[in-house]
Chain A
Amino acid sequence: MSGRKKTLLKVIILGDSGVGKTSLMQQFVNNKFSHQYKATIGADFLTKEISIDGNKQVTLQIWDTAGQERFQSLGVAFYRGADCCVLCYDVTNEKSLNNLTSWKDEFLVQSNVSNPQDFPFIIIGNKIDVDEAKKIPSLQKKLQNITNNQLGGLNYPVFETSAKDGINVEAAFEVIAKMALQQEELNDANGNDVSDDYNDAINIHLESESSGCAC
């Protein structure tokens, strides 16, 4: 894709509306949490510099996308060039868990990544601060089922977080950063992302050139 600096890692957060994508980003970047819910329209991003393994400085560009379906047509623009995708669900909302597969597929289709099988995904179950009673029954089992059957059996890292209380948020993004860096390095090794700016381009037919007037 574009010739960004190697240390800039683009991370996309996907998930159903209301699972807490914006809150996770705000908690990680700004250590802030708002109780007021405001649906994201379009997308926005925040950046944060972190150190990986104590010696590698990277800048995470974290894109918070709209969870509402009507914005999914815009995804192609946001997903392009991502180094890691965070799939979010709400531990109290089973539907959001079930939709993880859709989000993954949507991402892979629209982002047109060169290595869909190896592309790094991470799963975050947010809102663990709520009462146990409100959580999805047999969550772990269902989650395992989804990862095994619907997400291709790949062993994606799973974090359960609370954006509200800041639980596991840092840890999750640390792993995200490592995975994104690996992906970036892999792309570099394969010569991707720089050899062809438009790997999702569609060839179109060229009319035979005319030297005449267009009148």
Chain B
Amino acid sequence: MDQKLVVNGGTGEPAVFKYRLLVPEEETGSAGKISTIASYRANLYIGTTTGQLLHYHHFEDAAEYMLISNLQLSDSSRVITKILILPNTERALVLIGSTASVYSLPELSPCHIGKLKDINDLSMLAYSAISNDSRSQKSVAVNDKIVAFTSSKIRIIQIDKDQIKLLKDINYSGAVSGISTASRMSSNYSNLVLVANPSNYDIIDLKMTRKIPLFDYTGNRTNVPPHMVSYDAMDKEGAEEYLLTIKNDENTSLAMFINSLGDVTRGTLTWIGEGYPVGGIVVRWPYVFGVFASSDHSNKLIVSSLESLQVLNVVSLEEIFYGRKSTKQVVDEIETELKGEETDNKQKEVKDIAQEENLTQQDIDKDNLLQQENQQEQESGEDTEQHRQEQPFSSDSINLTISEQSEIFVEKPSTESAQLLETIKDINISTVSDISVENQTVDGLLSKVNLMNGSRSSSIAKHFDIGNIILHDDSKVWILYSESVLIQLQDSFIFAMQEGTIKSFSEELEGIVDTYEGEIHQYILYMLVLSLIEIEDEQKILKYVLRLKNGHLVVDPLFIIYMLSDFKEIDTSHFDFSVYSGIREIMEQCKPSSSRRLLLLKYFDSVYPDLVQTNSQTQDIIRRAYYASFKSNEESIFFFQGKDKMNWSTFSHINSSIIDLWYSKGFIKTILQAYRSLKAADEEKEKEISEKLCTLVIQLLSQEKGDSDISTESLVADTLADIKANPPDPSLYTKYLIEILKVDKIRGFEFMKKNNKQQYRSVHKTIMDEISETYASESDFSLLKIEFLESTLRENKFKASLQDELAFEMAKLMSSSEFLVEEYRINFDILVQTYKIENSLTDSKWPKISWVDFLHLNSKSSECKDFVDIYLKVYELLLVSTDLKKSTPILSELISNDELFSYYKFVNPDDTTVRSLLDYSDFESAEFVAVHRKLPFPKFHFYIENDSRRFDIVAPSRIRDDLFTILKYYLKEITSDPLCIFAIRHFISSFGNSFFTPSEILSYLPDHIPIAYLMDYLTEVIIDLQAANREVQLRKSISKADATFTKSVYKNFANSFENGT
């Protein structure tokens, strides 16, 4: 579609122009040859040699111009030579032959307000709404003023919507063409006209009505069309200048440059050997485009520089427009081809053709000169239109002339030369008002691409290139326009990258970046930043990336982060980060980005947080990037506690993701800080944060995660301090302590002991349960657990299950090899033996002490006090428990096989218990069991304040049996040691009178027992007997008295009865 035309830049960069076919041949082919073109807004008007006026319109939603009307304005013999657009009145003056008619725009309806006749050329009277003199106010034009060039006058005419008014006539003979000049003047309208007569250029001062003669342009009165082109000299602050073409000789022409005062402004531009620009001249600063029909009748577009005054490019229009070679090229190739067998003949033929063409051209020039002379002699009149067609200065006349003589035939057509059979068409160049050409390439460059997911979004606005240079042949119209600066810069960037000239290109971008606005400016700024990154000019990078517009950063901070950081560190999956597609292309060409951490931090320091406050997404990603750029916990924590502190009041999504980032970087210390801060700040999510913090701490303690900046010791200390200061819920508390206990049981246990508040006791118990397996063999742990169980037991009013558990725990501890060391065994055994000795029957002291009470009394002096204490506690619990359950199952497994704990078996007495107790020398307990079937409650107790046990009634016979067993034991002992007599005395005194008859006692006792040891018993028995005797006597006396009394009463009653009856 669009083709490129690269113009050699001379001393500077090459300039790229593009051309595209605006109107294809098939639409104009039947309407004669194109003679003139004009444009107005989105309309294109094409006049033809057959009097037709084609109206094209460019609809917004269409890519191409569409033909919407074809008006036949005159008979087919008359040529439309000019279409002059009158923008203020929205009219068009259409010059057909020598008559100009008015049509309304844009639809070309005829306006019947009159016609202008005898016209050779028309031009707008230069108008400027901007005054150079600030003191004067210029009015806005409501009509259009034109300059009409006739054969005898220069006429200033005002065109209103409904009338035509002649303002001024100035005599001037033979004006064939002209332009109004000096629009930058003190008055609204120009006072100067640059006019060409058949031989000379002149300046006409309309105000002073005088002529300033310039020079001849015809090259000894040959027939060439004058070309007067105005342009703004950008090397002279935009001063208006004029290019005037001059024919020097058949092969050479030149252009002079003057200002509106007639002063020469620059040297001459020469086209040596190229002929004269018969196809027209157009200036697009700093280039001059001329279409030349050279001696070989091929059309050339010659591009020259106004700055260097050198020819830059010579382009074959045949080649670029039709894809075929120029005549000269074909001739050259044929010449080459013919070398060899038929060299001589063929060369001759071709040269003949070329010579013939040259001759023809010269002949025609001569003919035209004659026509011109004839025309000058003719008076203006009815046949002016016919004269116009004959004038050599009319562009269509020239075109026709050249067309007639440019048909070239080759007698022996080859594939190459067959093209010569086609008619060489004349091509003209001219300017029209601006035409917009959609530039999809720019649209593509400015479309956005998401760097994260690759999705693309189209540019919001379509972008158009503006062109006003039109080239046309007989039937086709092309537009030539500057390549978009964006595309040129895009290509230049890639080129500079490849050539290693990126530094100079970067300087060039610096020079132009501020000359553009809007999206283009932004795009170039991105390019500049990329180039600066490429050359590592950090100072300038910062300078440009910190540019603000309306208080906002122009360059997206995300782009900077992407370019300056190792972006892999940043999880941007939830960020919508897009850049221009063209910029993305350049980024791909750039060398792999190395992380410029320090530069990035400088950038962040500049933009964060003030410049990104309004954009939370940007703020978020900058924060992420900030943290991503840190290399240590210290840096992160410094930022976290400083500049970023305000953002850590909530456990937001971004904060969560930053924490994830820290995880990936191993900044656990920072995470701990963050969690602790968040826990205190975000009440709503305190639980969630606490859990996460707990999880992390646990992971650290269990070494599932690690951070060299965190020592286990400090972690434990900090965690315990945190727990104490901000107590978590029981569940987390438990988790913490269990893990802490695993790594630092001493501190853990110590903490639990110190933190033995009521609300934590059950928690501590849970903890104990959790870790009991782990610490089953660890006495410290068991002791701790026992301690907490005891507390719990007390709190729960000695709940039975807790009693069992505590007993079990203590029994477990006692049975553990770690706790029950040999030393304990020995010492305990010593206690047992001591007890047996001190509690021996040989000792006269009664009552004896029970084993349990003995232990308690002796534990303090024992070497196994800890063991004894637990032993006694277990005993106490067993007593209570057995009283409730009538069994002691919990200990069966732990202590059943260890003689050390054999005493515990007595807690649930059976028929052998008394005997066993006697063997254990615990006579006190044996006697108690004999009477109560239960062991006595210790006098010193740990848990139970009072003995609340229920004592069942024991059958006397059972009691007697057990007591008899005891007595027998005592009696047996007495045989070995007479001192045991005290036991007999004690027994008889205690139980003899209660459970036995004296005769039984006496029958059990051996005869040799001294009666003195039985005194107490006997005394008691006798007393009892005497008391019994007395009671009998009394009963008898009472009975007797009662009988006597009854007898007396009976007698009295009988007497009374008898007397009464």
Contact = CB atoms under 8 A, between A and B. Distances in A.
Interface of A: 1-2, 41-45, 63, 70-71, 73-74, 76-78, 80-81, 197-198, 200-215
Contact of B171 (A63, A197, A205, A210): A205
Nearest to B264: A77
Given A203-B209, A206-B209, A214-B116, A77 B216 contact: no
Given A43-B268, A81-B263, A214-B164, A209 B169 contact: yes
B309 interface: yes
Contacts of B163: 213
Contacts of B685: none
A184 B491 CA distance: 51
B796 to A, nearest CB: 110
B267 A42 contact: yes
B63 interface: no
B267 A43 contact: yes
B727 interface: no
B166 A214 contact: yes
Nearest to B152: A207
How many of chain B's residues touch chain A, expressed as a range?
35 or more
Contacts of A207: 153, 168-171
A66 B145 CA distance: 40
B167 interface: yes
A70 B248 contact: yes
Contact of A78 (B115, B211, B264): B264
A80 B215 CA distance: 13
A205 B116 CA distance: 22
Contacts of B215: 73-74, 76-77
Contact of A41 (B209, B248, B262): B248
Given A41-B252, A74-B215, 14 more contacts: A42-B246, A42-B267, A45-B267, A77-B262, A80-B263, A81-B263, A198-B212, A203-B209, A206-B209, A211-B166, A213-B166, A214-B114, A215-B115, A215-B116
Interface string B206-241: 001111111110001000000000000000000000
A74 B211 CA distance: 17
Nearest to A200: B212
A203 B211 CA distance: 6
6 contacts: A43-B264, A44-B309, A198-B205, A200-B213, A202-B213, A209-B166
B84 interface: no
Interface in B154-172: 155, 157, 163-172
B253 to A, nearest CB: 10
B254 interface: yes
Interface string B245-274: 010110010101011011110111110100
B210 A201 contact: yes
A202 B266 CA distance: 25
Contacts of B272: 41
A44 B268 contact: yes
Contacts of B170: 204, 206-207
Contact of A201 (B115, B171, B205): B205
Given A42-B267, A213-B163, A204 B169 contact: no
Contact of A204 (B172, B259, B267, B269): B172
Nearest to B157: A214
A41 B274 CA distance: 14
Contacts of A78: 264
B148 interface: yes
A214 B248 contact: no
A202 B258 contact: no
B117 interface: yes
Contact of B155 (A45, A200, A211, A214): A214
Nearest to A202: B211
A187 to B, nearest CB: 15
Interface string B352-387: 000000000000000000000000000000000000
Contacts of A71: 248
Contacts of A81: 263
Contact of A2 (B117, B169, B263): B263
Q: Which 10 pairs across A and B sit closest by C-beta, in order of nearness?
A: A42-B268, A44-B267, A207-B169, A215-B114, A201-B210, A214-B166, A206-B209, A41-B270, A42-B254, A203-B210
Q: Count chain A CB atoms within 10 A of each CB in B155, B164, B211, B263 and give the residue with the most.
A: B263
B166 A41 contact: no
Interface in B104-127: 114-117
A2 to B, nearest CB: 5
A210 B158 CA distance: 12
B210 A198 contact: yes
A198 B209 CA distance: 12
Contact of B246 (A1, A74, A197): A74
A80 B165 contact: no
B169 A41 contact: no
Contacts of A45: 266-267
B189 to A, nearest CB: 15
B254 A41 contact: yes
A124 B766 CA distance: 120
B212 to A, nearest CB: 5
A207 B166 CA distance: 12
A182 to B, nearest CB: 22
B768 to A, nearest CB: 101
A59 to B, nearest CB: 14
A177 B252 CA distance: 34
B281 to A, nearest CB: 15
Nearest to B254: A42
B968 to A, nearest CB: 149
Contact of A214 (B148, B261, B266, B268): B148
Given A42-B268, A206-B171, A212 B309 contact: no
Contacts of B167: 209
A45 B246 CA distance: 19
A141 to B, nearest CB: 38
Nearest to B116: A214
A81 B263 CA distance: 8
Nearest to A76: B215
Nearest to B150: A214
Contacts of B212: 198, 200-202
A103 B262 CA distance: 22
A204 B258 contact: no
Contacts of B209: 203-206
A212 B171 contact: no
A116 to B, nearest CB: 19
Contacts of B267: 42-45
Nearest to A198: B212
Contacts of A211: 165-166
B211 A77 contact: no
Interface in B578-601: none
Interface string B440-472: 000000000000000000000000000000000
Contacts of B213: 76, 200, 202
Contacts of A76: 213-215
A4 B197 CA distance: 30
A76 B212 CA distance: 10
A28 B145 CA distance: 50
Given A77-B256, A201-B208, A202-B213, A215 B263 contact: no
A207 to B, nearest CB: 3
A201 B213 CA distance: 7
B270 A210 contact: no
A146 B338 CA distance: 61
A72 to B, nearest CB: 10
A108 B248 CA distance: 24
A77 B214 contact: yes
B97 to A, nearest CB: 15
Nearest to A207: B169
A34 B527 CA distance: 44
B204 to A, nearest CB: 8
Nearest to A214: B166
A142 to B, nearest CB: 33
A43 B309 CA distance: 11
A212 B166 contact: yes
A211 B205 CA distance: 21
